[in-house]
Chain A
Amino acid sequence: MEDPHTSDFLVRLLAKEMRVVTLGGIAVISHGLSRNTYDADIWVDPLHSADEWCTRLFPLLTSMKRAQPVMIGTWDSLSWEALPSVIEEYGVFRVNGLERPVDIFRKPNELPIEEFDRVWTMGISLEDGTRIPDVIDLLVTKQDTGRTKDTQDIAFLEAKAEEQYLAELPGASAEKAAAMLSRFFTPKVAETALAHPEETIRQLGQRYLLELAADGDPFAAEIVKDRHLSGT
Chain B
Amino acid sequence: MKQYRPNPERQKRLYSMMKSRALLRRWQGKPPGNSAAAAGRKQIPDNSEPWIPGGVRSFADAIWISDQIDKDIARWKIPTPPIS
Contacts and interface: CB of A to CB of B under 8 A. Distances in A.
Interface residues on B, range: 20 to 34
Interface stretch (A44-52, A66-74, A135-143, A168-176): A135-143
A218 B7 CA distance: 11
A219 B10 CA distance: 11
B2 A140 contact: yes
B37 interface: no
Given A8-B59, A128-B59, A36 B66 contact: yes
A15 B58 CA distance: 11
Contacts of B73: 36
A126 B59 contact: yes
A186 B55 contact: no
B58 A130 contact: yes
A124 to B, nearest CB: 9
Given A7-B63, A26-B63, A183-B3, A216 B58 contact: no
B57 interface: yes
A220 B12 CA distance: 11
A128 B60 contact: yes
Contact of B56 (A12, A126, A208): A126
A158 B4 CA distance: 9
Interface string B17-42: 00000000000000000000000000
Contact of B2 (A110, A130, A216): A110
Contacts of A143: 2, 4, 7
Nearest to A28: B62
Nearest to A115: B1
A182 B3 contact: yes
Contacts of A36: 66-67, 69-70, 73
A186 B58 CA distance: 30
B53 interface: no
Interface in A185-213: 185-187, 208, 212
A158 B6 contact: yes
Interface of A: 7-8, 11-12, 22, 25-27, 29-30, 32, 34-37, 40, 100, 110-111, 115, 118, 126-128, 130, 132, 136, 139-140, 143-144, 151, 154, 158, 161, 182-187, 208, 212, 215-220
